Amino acid sequence: MTACIFAASSTKVDSQYAEAASLLGSLLARADIDVIFGGGGIGLMGKIADSVIAGGGKITGIIPLFMKNEGWGHPGIQNMIVTKDMSQRKKKMLEMSDAVIALPGGMGTLEELTEAITLKQLGLFHGPIIILNTLGFYSSLLEFIDNMISNKFLRHEHKGIWKVADTPGEAISILGNEVKLPTEWRKIAKI
Determine the structural domain holding residue 123 and report its residue range.
Answer: 2-188
As a 3-state breakdown, the chain gives helix, strand, coil percent values, each rounded to 5, of 50, 20, 35
Question: What is the rounded average pLDDT for all residues in the chain?
Answer: 94
Sign for the CA dihedral angle at 22, 104, 81, 71 comes to: negative
Say which CATH number the domain at 141 has: 3.40.50.450
Backbone phi and psi for residue 59, each to the nearest 5 degrees, phi listed first: -140, 140
State the pLDDT at residue 180: 61
Q: How confident is the model at residue 176 (pLDDT cuts 50, 70, 90)?
A: confident
> How many separate domains does the chain show?
1
With bands split at pLDDT 50, 70 and 90, how would you rate the model's confidence at 181?
low
| Residue 39 pLDDT exceeds 90 | yes
